[in-house]
């Protein structure tokens, strides 16, 4: 499925900015060829416009006149050209161009800051000649311009590609991967803004998000994602960080106070300070734990989530909920602590077993039912392919675009609720649709049931309860059951009696005193708080899912 854009005009797939000698033209052409797109160079377009070379125009009319022409050409091209567009080094310094690029980014465009090694770029720029901005001592002039321009480039761009040590083809391939990423920006009251990046190769953003302050990085991961943790470790070490591997048990067995305490001891022994950082790489349980450790070590250090399962990409890694389980219940100990960034690298799904992929569809469907009905349309249209997911065949297949869009849309649903209500005082509770009953299943099954599967049954329970209390029509309940079944998700459970379930529901985080609270559904896209429902309806809904 092609990604949908609501644009009133054509615009470039990518705009490349950077210093003189960064390779914008060469790599832009290479990228355009890889994508089967046209390429334009702003300097070439300007020379066609003015009928002479840029150095000649500079000499005759001066820089202000040149910048005026440049602004006209660049803005016109941004409004009409659907390819790869490379700008001159000084273009983003012009206010009118900068404002137009900001609008381009808001419309979904990608401004790529091509950040070459300064020595390599200076040498290429000096060797090329014909650059009036480098008149005089070229190297000194280049460095002076770099100091002025680098902060502006970083502010304007939403993609940064560092090319040091890369061949032109490898650098162009990296640009293609990064431009193809889906980016969901998350901010709101009490949230330090961060991005969720979805695409192939997003792990490459780790150094960019961690920044230059951390010296030590704790890479917390499970053994099942060894291949991906090896890649993350290599990226971190190549960027100069000291990396400390911390391996934890898979799934919910890793979310305990004993595991957290072992990590705290390790951080203390290795001398981790407040300026160091944590990277959590794995499924939802791993990212929950890594975030909890980051939130509590020295009252909070920087951390990045790198989810490796569909469930973690759409749920646990985003939103700032961190926590561990106790014998009394799931996630009863935790904190709200937002990551510096989330990197949902689609390459990690290639090693995901079919059943673990499918359980992630439970949380995806939930987001469709509470907020974005188009998610349900996509699930319906592609239920067969999704149910037959094969990681080996995933990358490059039509299903990759489908899954990318599902992840992005689901993350946007979560971002909507989290941005308005970080600490779950009201609106954010709607994200718990299906979770009250689902958490009880997980607890009673001693976490042998995976979270997404438990939530699927929990959604059916909540729908049945909404129907029994007169809020939801029968047709929608049956539609939900049918869709979840088509996706390969469970819709019934009979692993314990009602009294055991009721006891756990009373301990749910949404409960207030002895009052039961559920998230119900009025209709698709309209959840509501269902407080203190009729006890007979609560039990009858259980009977309906236990059949």
Burial class (CB in 10 A: 0-12, 13-18, 19+), 133: middle
351 is in an annotated binding site: yes
CA nearest neighbour of 224 among 390, 344, 353, 358: 353
Which residues are within 8 A (CB) of 522 and not within 5 positions of it... i.e. 6 or more apart? Answer: 466, 471, 472, 528
287 is in an annotated binding site: yes
22 is in an annotated binding site: yes
348 is in an annotated binding site: yes
Q: Is the dihedral of CA 315, 318, 324, 328 positive or negative?
A: negative
Q: How far is CA 286 from CA 289, 305, 323, in A?
A: 5, 9, 10
Are β-strands 84-86 and 526-531 bridged in parallel, bridged antiparallel, or unpaired? unpaired
102 is in an annotated binding site: no
CA nearest neighbour of 447 among 409, 495, 388: 495
Q: How far is CA 347 from CA 220, 227, 288, 310, 362, in A?
A: 19, 11, 21, 11, 21
Give catalytic residue positions. 299, 321, 363, 414, 424, 428, 432, 435, 439, 451
308 is in an annotated binding site: yes
286 is in an annotated binding site: yes
251 is in an annotated binding site: yes
Q: How far is CA 336 from CA 299, 422, 502, 511, in A?
A: 12, 7, 27, 19
Distance CA 281, CA 295 (A): 16
182 is in an annotated binding site: no
89 is in an annotated binding site: yes
Distance CA 467, CA 461 (A): 10
284 is in an annotated binding site: yes
24 is in an annotated binding site: yes
14 is in an annotated binding site: no
Other beta carbons within 10 Å of 270: 13
271 is in an annotated binding site: no
149 is in an annotated binding site: yes
Place of tokens 């949230």: 191
330 is in an annotated binding site: yes
Write out the binding residues for ATP: 21-26, 131
Write out the binding residues for Mg(2+): 25
Write out the binding residues for substrate: 43, 67, 89, 149
Write out the binding residues: 21-26, 43, 67, 89, 131, 149, 250-255, 284-288, 308-309, 321, 330, 348-351, 363, 435, 451
Write out the binding residues for Zn(2+): 363, 435, 451
Write out the binding residues for NAD(+): 250-255, 284-288, 308-309, 321, 330, 348-351
């Amino acid at each position: 499925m092609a990604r949908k854009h609501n644009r009133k005009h054509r615009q470039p797939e990518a705009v490349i900015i950077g210093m003189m000698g960064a390779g914008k033209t060469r790599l832009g052409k290479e990228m355009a060829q890889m994508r089967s797109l046209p390429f334009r160079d702003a300097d070439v377009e300007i020379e066609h416009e003015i009928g002479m070379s840029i150095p000649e125009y500079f000499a005759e009319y001066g820089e202000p006149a040149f910048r005026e022409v440049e602004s006209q050409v660049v803005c016109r091209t941004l409004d009409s050209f659907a390819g790869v567009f490379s700008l001159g080094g000084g273009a983003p310094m012009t206010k009118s161009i900068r404002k137009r690029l900001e609008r381009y980014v808001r419309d979904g465009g990608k401004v790529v800051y091509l950040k070459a090694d300064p020595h390599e770029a200076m040498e290429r720029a000096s060797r090329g000649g014909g650059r009036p901005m480098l008149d005089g001592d070229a190297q000194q002039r280049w460095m002076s311009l770099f100091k002025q321009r680098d902060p502006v480039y970083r502010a304007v761009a939403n993609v940064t590609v560092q090319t040091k040590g890369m061949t032109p083809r490898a650098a162009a391939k990296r640009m293609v991967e990064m431009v193809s990423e889906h980016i969901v920006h998350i901010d709101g009251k009490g949230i330090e803004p961060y991005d969720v990046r979805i695409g192939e190769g997003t792990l490459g953003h780790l150094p960019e998000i961690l920044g230059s302050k951390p010296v030590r990085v704790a890479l917390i991961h499970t053994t099942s994602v060894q291949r991906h943790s090896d890649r993350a470790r290599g990226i971190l070490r190549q960027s100069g960080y000291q990396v400390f591997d911390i391996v934890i048990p898979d799934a919910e067995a890793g979310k305990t106070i004993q595991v957290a305490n072992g990590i705290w001891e390790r951080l203390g022994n290795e001398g981790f300070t407040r300026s160091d950082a944590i990277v959590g790489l794995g499924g939802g349980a791993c990212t929950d734990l890594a975030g909890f450790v980051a939130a509590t070590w020295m009252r909070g250090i920087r951390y990045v989530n790198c989810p490796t399962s569909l469930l973690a990409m759409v749920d646990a890694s985003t939103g700032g909920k961190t926590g561990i389980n106790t014998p009394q219940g799931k996630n009863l100990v935790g904190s709200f602590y937002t990551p510096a960034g989330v990197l949902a690298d689609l390459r990690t799904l290639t090693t995901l077993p079919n059943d673990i992929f499918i359980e992630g569809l439970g949380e995806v469907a939930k987001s469709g039912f509470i907020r974005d009905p188009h998610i349900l349309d996509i699930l319906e249209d592609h239920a067969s392919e999704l149910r037959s997911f094969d990681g080996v065949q995933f990358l490059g297949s039509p299903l990759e675009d489908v899954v990318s869009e599902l992840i992005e849309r689901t993350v946007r649903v979560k971002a909507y609720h989290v941005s308005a209500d970080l600490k779950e005082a009201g609106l954010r509770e709607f994200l718990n649709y299906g979770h009250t009953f689902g958490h009880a299943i997980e607890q009673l099954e001693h976490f042998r049931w995976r979270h997404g599967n438990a939530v699927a049954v929990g959604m059916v329970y909540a729908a049945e309860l909404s129907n029994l209390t007169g809020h939801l029509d029968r047709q929608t309940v049956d539609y939900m059951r049918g869709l979840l079944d088509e996706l390969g998700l469970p819709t019934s459970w009979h692993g314990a009696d009602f009294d055991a379930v009721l006891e756990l529901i009373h301990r749910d985080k949404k409960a207030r005193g002895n009052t039961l609270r559920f998230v119900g559904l009025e209709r698709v896209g309209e959840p509501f708080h269902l407080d203190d429902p009729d006890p007979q309806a609560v039990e009858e809904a259980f009977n309906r899912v236990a059949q």
